[in-house]
């Protein structure tokens, strides 16, 4: 693994969008506490804020900003606060909470007068009045402003929605295993009756997108656990999940994220046409066999052309199935006579497919089960095999020690990685659930954060020494993780 992991230059889109909105809106809000609405400063601030709002409405359809405890959620995705914007976000949080306003929603474009109306209404609210939001709603209605809505600051209800990670874990688990069953069904359908039915898969991928947008750690964890029985169908689901998670980080709109999931789920569908002896041959393939194997992208495209509805989704799926073994520098297969750059979806799937097929369980693979080696390998091929920008995003997402990895710490503890740090500088300092040995087996202990330092010495309290193979320790990671 190279010394330094490049920092995430594409950023976390909901954070960027949410922060941009808060900064512009809070400035206007502050201005409104100082000047009257005829002042030219207010005009300028309102125009600046308007630009941000209308840009967001145009790209997202509508957007909402919610406050849950001390956190902001932009379109239900938590905003990651960075040091530069910390004071502004704190200030805004304080102003909203003291007025019992917990949600702002923009459903359509607004004009300058409407925005000013709204901001002066907010400013003028009395503190600690729980029904402030009703007053605002009434006033907005009275003025004919339909595009703006506000909601009450409700800590309890909101906690149920966002903080209940157990619920999200359960849901993620269901999405994951149902997807595996579903891919199986679709494959059987193609094999036996030559029909392709993807209706259910579509809905499931929408669920996966929702879960990933709230918190991707549960689904990424499931994708990283490699000791399931049936690898083949797992692989498809893993590729879908990794791809959606990358897509979310580079700002692909929600609607297309589920398309991306579908393209990932069925990228290898062409393999149903490959004879089993070739498909699961443990030894090296002969030249003829390799030719057969390498026709699966073409078979895949052919099968997907049977999809009933033609449109954006089917086109994207066909393209991705056809292109997923093409490399960034246009080598790879199938051989094209007219060279053109693979589509964004294909480029994403090419790298998640590569990663997931190498991090397979040992029984399938000569390469050892360590993802840091594979990520290193991928980084070396950045720009030739893979899209360099996507590689950066992917490595930051997976971390050197992916969720679900069994690690040995310098304190001689062993533990399982449960969360990757958002800050790419801390990519080697994940959160780890310590394990302790009692009554003949390993049990879940406390969760520690490896970025914690000793107060007296300033040194890190715990550091990963190496990764361990869970099978050698008789540990079923899935059991601990779920
Ligand atoms: Fe493939
Ligand atoms: Fe694949």
Q: How remote is the CA of residue 471 from the centroid of ligand 2, in Å? A: 25
Q: How far apart are CA 66 and CA 105, in angstroms?
A: 9
**Where is average pLDDT lowest: 59-63, 161-165, 210-214?**
161-165
Q: How far apart are CA 430 and CA 214, in angstroms?
A: 19
- Does the pTM surpass 0.75? The reply is no
**What's phi and psi for 448, nearest 5 deg?**
-120, 155
- Give me the pLDDT at residue 3, please: 35
Tokens 């910390």 found at: 86
Confidence band of 229 (pLDDT split at 50, 70, 90): low
Q: How remote is the CA of residue 356 from the centroid of ligand 2, in Å? A: 8
pLDDT greater at residue 366 or residue 398: 398
- Give me the pLDDT at residue 11, please: 55
Confidence band of 472 (pLDDT split at 50, 70, 90): confident
Q: How remote is the CA of residue 176 from the centroid of ligand 1, in Å? A: 20
Closest by CA position to 467, among listed 407, 394, 393, 425: 407
Other Cβ atoms closer than 10 A to 75: 19
- Buried/exposed code over 198-207 (b: 16+ C-beta within 10 A; e: otherwise): beebeebbbb
Q: Which residues lie below 8 Å from residue 201, measured CB to CB, with a gap of 6+?
A: 179, 182, 183, 186, 262, 265, 266
Q: How remote is the CA of residue 236 from the centroid of ligand 1, in Å? A: 10
Tokens 């008789």 found at: 474
Q: How remote is the CA of residue 357 from the centroid of ligand 2, in Å? A: 7
Q: How remote is the CA of residue 64 from the centroid of ligand 2, in Å? A: 37
Q: How remote is the CA of residue 269 from the centroid of ligand 2, in Å? A: 9
- Give me the pLDDT at residue 156, please: 44
- Give me the pLDDT at residue 71, please: 82
- Four-residue CA torsion sign, 310, 311, 316, 322: positive
- Give me the pLDDT at residue 10, please: 43
Q: How far apart are CA 257 and CA 50, in angstroms?
A: 28
Q: How far apart are CA 296 and CA 413, in angstroms?
A: 45
250 has pLDDT over 70: yes
Element (H or E) spanning 239, and its range?
helix 231-249
Pairing relation of β-strands 441-449 and 431-438?
antiparallel
Q: How remote is the CA of residue 303 from the centroid of ligand 2, in Å? A: 16
Q: How remote is the CA of residue 474 from the centroid of ligand 2, in Å? A: 29
420 has pLDDT over 90: no
339-393 pLDDT per residue, tens: 788 999 999 999 999 999 887 654 444 444 567 778 888 999 999 999 999 999 9
pLDDT greater at residue 162 or residue 432: 432
- Buried/exposed code over 374-397 (b: 16+ C-beta within 10 A; e: otherwise): bbeebbebbeebbbeebbbbbbbb
Q: How remote is the CA of residue 183 from the centroid of ligand 2, in Å? A: 13
- Give me the pLDDT at residue 137, please: 92
pLDDT greater at residue 234 or residue 165: 234
Share of the chain above pLDDT 70, in %: 91
- Give me the pLDDT at residue 405, please: 86
Confirm if 344 and 321 have CB atoms less than 8 A apart: no
Q: How remote is the CA of residue 78 from the centroid of ligand 2, in Å? A: 31
Specify the DSSP class assigned to residue 79: P
Q: How remote is the CA of residue 427 from the centroid of ligand 1, in Å? A: 29
289-305 pLDDT per residue, tens: 999 999 999 999 999 99
Q: How remote is the CA of residue 295 from the centroid of ligand 1, in Å? A: 9
- Of 78-92, 111-125, 213-227, 394-408, where does the model show the most confidence? 111-125
Tokens of 49: 């804020």
Q: Residues with beta carbon < 5 A to ion ligand 2?
A: 268, 353
Q: Is residue 161 classed exposed, middle or buried when 0-12, 13-18 and 19+ CB atoms within 10 A define those classes? A: middle
Q: How remote is the CA of residue 400 from the centroid of ligand 1, in Å? A: 25
Task: Give the number of whichever ligand sits closest to the CA of residue 324.
Answer: 1
- Give me the pLDDT at residue 440, please: 83
Q: How remote is the CA of residue 43 from the centroid of ligand 1, in Å? A: 56
Other Cβ atoms closer than 10 A to 332: 18
- Give me the pLDDT at residue 448, please: 94
Task: Give the number of whichever ligand sits closest to the CA of residue 300.
Answer: 1
Q: What is the mean pLDDT of residues 120-137?
A: 91
Task: Give the number of whichever ligand sits closest to the CA of residue 264.
Answer: 2
Distance of CA 278 to the CA centre of its chain: 34
147-178 pLDDT per residue, tens: 999 988 875 443 344 445 667 777 888 888 88
Task: Give the number of whichever ligand sits closest to the CA of residue 354.
Answer: 2
390 strand-pairing partners: none
- Give me the pLDDT at residue 243, please: 97
Q: How remote is the CA of residue 237 from the centroid of ligand 2, in Å? A: 10
Q: How remote is the CA of residue 190 from the centroid of ligand 2, in Å? A: 17
Q: How remote is the CA of residue 381 from the centroid of ligand 1, in Å? A: 18
Q: Whole-angstrom distance between the N-terminal and C-terminal Cα of the chain?
A: 29
- Give me the pLDDT at residue 197, please: 81
Q: What is the mean pLDDT of residues 43-49?
A: 96
Averaged confidence pLDDT in the chain: 85
Task: Give the number of whichever ligand sits closest to the CA of residue 355.
Answer: 2
- Of 95-104, 343-352, 414-423, where does the model show the most confidence? 343-352
Tokens of 123: 């400013």
**What's phi and psi for 128, nearest 5 deg?**
60, 30
Q: What is the mean pLDDT of residues 130-136?
A: 91
Q: How far apart are CA 385 and CA 400, in angstroms?
A: 20
- Four-residue CA torsion sign, 241, 187, 367, 354: negative
Confirm if 108 and 57 have CB atoms less than 8 A apart: yes
């Amino acid at each position: 693994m190279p010394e330094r992991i490049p920092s995430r230059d594409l950023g976390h889109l909901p954070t960027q969008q949410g922060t941009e909105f808060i900064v512009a809106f809070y400035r206007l809000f502050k201005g409104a506490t100082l000047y009257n609405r005829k002042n030219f400063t207010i005009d300028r601030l309102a125009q600046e804020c308007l630009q941000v709002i209308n840009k967001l409405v145009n790209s997202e359809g509508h957007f909402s900003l919610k406050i849950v405890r001390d956190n902001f959620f932009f379109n239900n995705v938590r905003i990651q606060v960075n040091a530069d914007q910390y004071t502004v976000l704190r200030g805004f949080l304080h102003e909203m909470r003291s007025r019992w306003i917990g949600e702002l929603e923009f459903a359509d474009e607004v004009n300058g007068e409407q925005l000013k109306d709204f901001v002066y209404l907010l400013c003028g609210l009395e503190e600690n009045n729980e029904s402030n939001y009703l007053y605002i709603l009434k006033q907005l209605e009275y003025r004919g402003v339909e595009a703006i809505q506000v909601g009450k600051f409700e800590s309890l209800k909101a906690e149920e929605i966002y903080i209940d990670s157990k619920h999200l874990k359960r849901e993620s688990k269901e999405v994951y295993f149902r997807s595996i069953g579903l891919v199986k069904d679709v494959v059987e359908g193609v094999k036996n009756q030559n029909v392709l039915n993807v209706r259910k898969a579509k809905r499931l991928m929408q669920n996966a997108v929702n879960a990933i947008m709230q918190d991707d750690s549960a689904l990424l964890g499931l994708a990283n656990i490699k000791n399931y029985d049936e690898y083949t169908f797992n692989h498809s689901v893993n590729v879908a999940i990794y791809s959606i998670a990358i897509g979310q980080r580079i700002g692909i709109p929600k609607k297309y994220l589920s398309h991306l999931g579908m393209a990932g789920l069925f990228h290898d569908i062409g393999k149903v046409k490959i004879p089993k002896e070739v498909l699961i041959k443990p030894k090296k393939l002969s030249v003829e066999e390799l030719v057969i194997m390498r026709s699966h992208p073409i078979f895949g495209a052919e099968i997907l052309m049977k999809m009933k509805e033609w449109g954006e989704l089917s086109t994207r799926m066909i393209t991705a199935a056809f292109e997923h073994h093409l490399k960034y520098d246009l080598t790879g297969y199938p051989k094209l006579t007219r060279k053109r750059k693979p589509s964004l979806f294909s480029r994403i799937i090419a790298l998640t497919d590569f990663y997931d097929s190498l991090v397979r369980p040992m029984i399938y693979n000569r390469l050892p089960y360590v993802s840091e080696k594979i990520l290193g390998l991928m980084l070396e091929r950045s720009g030739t095999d893979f899209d360099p920008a996507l590689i950066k995003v992917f490595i930051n997402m997976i971390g050197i020690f992916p969720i679900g990895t069994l690690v040995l710490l310098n304190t001689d503890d062993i533990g399982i990685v449960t969360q990757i740090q958002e800050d790419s500088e801390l990519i080697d300092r994940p959160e780890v659930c310590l394990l302790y040995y009692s009554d003949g087996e390993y049990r879940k202990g406390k969760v520690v954060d490896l970025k914690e330092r000793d107060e007296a010495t300033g040194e890190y309290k715990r550091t990963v020494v190496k990764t361990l193979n869970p099978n050698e320790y008789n540990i079923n990671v899935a059991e601990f993780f779920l």
